[in-house]
């Protein structure tokens, strides 16, 4: 038995009763309470929604529920149309509305979600000065930040490989979003922008946008102030590859998080690539909503660690080559060994050396380098200790210092321990018994055996001898 109704508001109220039982309370308040019933013509119900973004969200997430509910009220053949309020930002803040049929009023072959074509050109680009008409999106990228000058090492290999995979198939890998995290100056922004530049080179038709989180927040505030929030949302929804830098800046900014949550969902569901950077992994981010953090974990989280010694050498050599300068090898090793922080610190030290050399018209040597960089290096006139030796050797062999002091007899650990004892006997004034105590309480005979073993291997094994000489040179440079 069919129900005869003539009042559009009554029909919609009946629909809301069903919808309320099928969605959670927060979703109901957010997405259904703001809707107004406009008119009912035959079996076509028209409802008014406050924005294009609102319309798209309903179509993407609740179209099946709406379809079933409307048919339950109006019977077979029932249709739903939207009256969408659209801001006309080019003529002040006055609004206009358009009627858009819902998906359930079209054939399945015609289903298409997106911005109506006649409105695409009216969206204001927040990166363009008001008054200038420019449809193309300025990527906001530094063209010098490329994969070619992002030096690979153990400290960044995973993140760099993931970045290259994303650049090759944006939106087509499981690394979506790609969440890059690490300390200040470790190369997050460089890697993120390298992805963007690579995508622009390989995919001329894809729009790429790099934006710091602080700028995103300021644009959002400006959009609210100017009553152009729809433009802001729709602009970001048109981007193919969105790179958001320093996402930890969103902490405590609930409204910014909310708007980014919806933009994130739209981009992700439409196969667009999202790249995020932060100073810490998602699990350690505080002040961000759980629903946002859960989405950050959907793809791959890759960390950038402090560059190791070999990577620091490679970074310095690449920088010198790019700038057309050349320093003695011992100078490069001194800088790489002593400046162990960020890439920025390394480059700062190099610039300082170059500036002093140019102004003083002096050739850079090791002694001058030590004088120039004394403010960079926190180790003025330090004396070589057994702890320094253990740290250098353990770093070289990529093992914790505790292993040098342990009882294990694994070959590579024993060899590292013997080299440490060899340097301790040669380069410190400690007694054999005291040296043994620093290696897990071993006696003096163990130290003598280690010392002789190293001497014997240096005579018979060229690679071993080179390794010892390399370590000895580093110790000499820094403590000689």
Q: Which of 161, 162, 158, 147 is nearest to 299 (CA)?
A: 162
| Rounded Cα gap, residues 33 and 332, in angstroms | 66
Rounded Cα–Cα distance for residues 153 and 447 (Å)? 35
Alpha-carbon torsion angle 50, 53, 55, 59, nearest 10 = -160
CATH 3.30.70.260 fits 309-375, yes or no: no
Residue with tokens 């690579």: 198
* 7 band by pLDDT with thresholds 50, 70 and 90: confident
Residue 179, beta-bridge partner list = 276, 301
- Using the structure block, give the residue that is written with the tokens 């960079």: 376
CA triple 233-235-237, angle to 5 deg: 70
Per-residue buried b or exposed e for 258-267, using 16+ beta carbons within 10 Å of the residue's own CB:
ebbebbbebb
Q: pLDDT value at position 132?
A: 32
CATH superfamily of the 8-105 domain: DnaA, N-terminal domain (3.30.300.180)
Average pLDDT estimate for 251-272: 89
CA–CA distance, 250 with 213 (Å, rounded to integer): 7
Pick from 278, 248, 250, 251: nearest CA to 184: 278
> Residues 358-372: pLDDT tens digits?
666 677 777 777 777
Q: Is the pTM of this model over 0.85?
A: no
DSSP-derived letter for residue 22 is: T
* Higher-scoring residue by pLDDT: 428, 146: 146
Q: pLDDT grade, residue 144 (50/70/90)?
A: confident
Helices 229-237 and 213-225, packing angle to 10 deg: 140
Q: What's the whole-number mean pLDDT along residues 110-115?
A: 31
Residues composing the chain: 480
Going by pLDDT thresholds of 50, 70 and 90, the confidence category of residue 275 is very high
386-479: CATH superfamily: DnaA protein, C-terminal DNA-binding domain (1.10.1750.10)
Query: d(Cα 62, Cα 77) in Å, to the nearest integer?
Result: 19
Q: What residues contact 109, with CB distance under 8 A and at least 6 apart? A: none
In DSSP notation, 280-294 reads S-GGG--SS-HHHHH
The CB-side HSE value for 20 (13 A sphere, CA atoms) comes to: 8
Residue tagged 């015609």 (tokens): 110
Q: What DSSP element (H or E) covers 181?
A: strand 178-182
Domain boundaries, the chain: 8-105, 157-304, 309-375, 386-479
In the predicted structure, residue 10 carries a pLDDT above the cut 80: yes
Residue environment code for 123-151, b if the CB has 16+ CB neighbours within 10 A, otherwise e: bbbbeeeeeeeeeebebbbeeebebeebb
Average of per-residue pLDDT values in the chain:
79
Peptide linkage before 339 cis (omega within 30 of 0) = no
- Average the pLDDT over each of 111-120, 322-331, 418-427 and give the range with the smallest value: 111-120
Q: Are 180 and 150 in contact, with CB atoms under 8 Å apart?
A: no
Cβ proximity of 293 and 284 under 8 Å: no
Q: Give pLDDT tens digits for 334-358.
A: 777 777 667 777 777 777 777 776 6
Estimate to the nearest angstrom the gap between the alpha carbon of 344 and the chain centroid: 18
Cα 59 to Cα 123: distance, rounded to the nearest angstrom: 20
**Least confident residue range of 104-108, 301-305, 450-454:** 104-108
Residues 6 or more apart whose CB falls under 8 angstroms from that of 148 comprise: none
Q: What pLDDT was estimated at residue 264? A: 92
Instruction: Number of helices (H) and strands (E) in the chain: give both, helices first.
Output: 20, 9
Instruction: For residue 300, list its beta bridge partners.
Output: 178
Stretch among 134-138, 221-225, 347-351, 391-395 having the lowest mean pLDDT: 134-138
154 pLDDT band, cuts 50/70/90, is confident
CA–CA separation, 103 and 476 (whole Å): 75
Q: What is the pLDDT of residues 168-196, one digit of tens each?
A: 999 888 888 999 998 877 888 999 999 99
pLDDT in tens, 32-70: 888 988 888 888 888 888 777 777 778 777 888 888 888
Angle at which helix 157-168 crosses helix 188-202, to 10 degrees, equals 20
Tokens of 203: 């995919």
Of 131-140, 144-153, 383-392, which gets the smallest average pLDDT? 131-140
**205-249 tens-digit pLDDT:** 888 999 999 999 988 888 888 888 888 888 888 899 999 999 998
Fold of the CATH domain 157-304: Rossmann fold (3.40.50)
């Amino acid at each position: 038995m069919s129900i005869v109704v003539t009042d559009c508001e009554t029909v919609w109220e009946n629909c809301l009763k069903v919808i309320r039982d099928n969605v959670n309370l927060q979703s109901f308040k957010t997405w259904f309470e703001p809707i107004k019933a406009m008119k009912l013509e035959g079996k076509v119900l028209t409802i008014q929604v406050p924005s294009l973004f609102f319309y798209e969200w309903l179509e993407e997430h609740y179209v099946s529920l709406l379809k079933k509910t409307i048919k339950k009220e109006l019977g077979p053949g029932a249709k739903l149309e939207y009256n969408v309020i659209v801001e006309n930002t080019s003529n002040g803040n006055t609004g206009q509305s358009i009627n858009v049929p819902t998906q359930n009023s079209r054939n399945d072959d015609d289903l298409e979600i997106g911005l109506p074509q006649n409105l695409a050109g009216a969206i204001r680009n927040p990166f363009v000065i008001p008054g200038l008409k420019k449809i193309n999106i300025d990527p906001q990228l530094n063209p010098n930040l490329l994969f070619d000058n992002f030096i690979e090492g153990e400290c960044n290999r995973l993140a760099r490989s993931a970045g290259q995979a994303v650049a090759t198939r944006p939106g087509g890998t499981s690394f979506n979003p790609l969440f890059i995290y690490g300390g200040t100056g470790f190369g997050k922004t460089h890697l993120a922008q390298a992805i963007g530049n690579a995508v622009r080179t390989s995919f001329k038709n894809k729009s790429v946008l790099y934006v710091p989180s602080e700028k995103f927040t300021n644009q959002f505030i400006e959009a609210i102030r100017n009553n152009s929030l729809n433009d802001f949302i729709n602009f970001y929804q048109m981007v193919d590859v969105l790179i958001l830098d320093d996402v930890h800046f969103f902490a405590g900014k609930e409204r910014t998080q909310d708007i980014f949550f919806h933009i994130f969902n739209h981009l992700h569901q439409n196969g667009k690539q999202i790249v995020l950077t932060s100073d810490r992994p998602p699990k350690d981010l505080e002040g961000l909503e759980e629903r946002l953090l859960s989405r950050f974990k959907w793809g791959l989280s890759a960390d950038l660690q402090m560059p190791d010694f070999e990577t620091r050498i490679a970074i310095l050599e690449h920088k010198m080559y790019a700038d057309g300068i050349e320093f003695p090898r011992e100078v490069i090793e001194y800088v790489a060994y002593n400046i162990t922080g960020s890439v920025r610190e390394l480059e700062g030290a190099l610039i300082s050396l170059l500036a002093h050399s140019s102004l003083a018209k002096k050739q850079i040597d090791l002694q001058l380098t030590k004088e120039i960089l004394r403010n960079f290096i926190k180790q003025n006139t330090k004396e070589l200790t057994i702890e320094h030796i253990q740290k250098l050797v353990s770093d070289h062999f990529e093992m914790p210092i505790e292993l040098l002091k342990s009882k294990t007899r694994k070959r590579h650990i024993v060899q590292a321990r013997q080299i440490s004892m060899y340097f301790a006997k040669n380069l410190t004034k400690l007694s054999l018994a005291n040296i043994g105590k620093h290696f897990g309480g071993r006696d003096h005979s163990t130290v003598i055996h280690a010392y002789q073993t190293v001497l014997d291997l240096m005579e018979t094994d060229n690679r071993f001898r080179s390794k010892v000489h390399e370590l000895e040179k580093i110790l000499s440079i820094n403590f000689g």
